[in-house]
Amino acid sequence: MKRVILTLLALMLLAAPSYAGTKDLIYASDSTAKSLDPHDTSDTYSGAIERAICQGLMGFDQNLNIIPLLAESYEFNDAATQFTFKLRKGISFHDGTPFNAEAVRVNIERLMTGKYKRSSLMKPVQELKVIDDYTVQFNLKEPFGAFVNAIAHPGTLILSPKAIETYGDDVSKHPVGTGPYIFDEWVSGSHVKIKKNRITGEVRSRLIPLHSVRYRKTVPGWPC
Indicate the domain borders of the chain: 2-217
Q: Determine the pLDDT at residue 4.
A: 41
Reported as type and span, the H/E element at residue 195 is strand 191-196
Read off the pTM.
0.79
Q: Determine the pLDDT at residue 197.
A: 84
Strands ordered across the beta sheet of 71-76: 71-76, 82-87, 135-140, 125-132
Q: Determine the pLDDT at residue 206.
A: 35
| Cα torsion angle, 113, 149, 43, 87, sign | positive
Q: Determine the pLDDT at residue 199.
A: 56
Low-confidence ranges of the chain (pLDDT < 70): 1-30, 199-224
Distances (CA, A) of 193 to 1, 55, 204: 20, 18, 20
Alpha-carbon distance 158 to 57, whole Å?
8
Q: Determine the pLDDT at residue 224.
A: 37
2-217 maps to which CATH number? 3.40.190.10
Q: Determine the pLDDT at residue 32.
A: 78
Q: Determine the pLDDT at residue 108.
A: 98
Q: Determine the pLDDT at residue 220.
A: 46
Q: Determine the pLDDT at residue 198.
A: 74
